[in-house]
Amino acid sequence: MCESKAYILRDGKEEMIIEGIDQFEVRNGEIRFINIFGEEQKVNARIKRLSLMEHKIILKPITK
């Protein structure tokens, strides 16, 4: 399987928030992930790093 996993940085550690990502979209500082099971996760974050080889999306939370 080639789907990705999304991680958010909390206290310098990567915390997985969703796996099996099929698609994502960015709108107004919010990222919406949809996985292969149709599950959806929304987070207020920015993409810090995207690794296609590792199938990893690293996010940095947006602080208000």
Q: Given this model, what pLDDT does residue 19 score?
A: 96
Mean pLDDT by 10 residues, the chain (64 residues): 90 96 92 96 96 95 84
| C-alpha to C-alpha distance for 2 and 10, rounded to whole angstroms | 25
Counted domains in the chain = 1
| C-alpha to C-alpha distance for 35 and 2, rounded to whole angstroms | 12
Q: Given this model, what pLDDT does residue 29 score?
A: 82
Q: Given this model, what pLDDT does residue 22 score?
A: 93
- The domain in which residue 32 lies consists of 4-61
Overall pTM > 0.85: yes
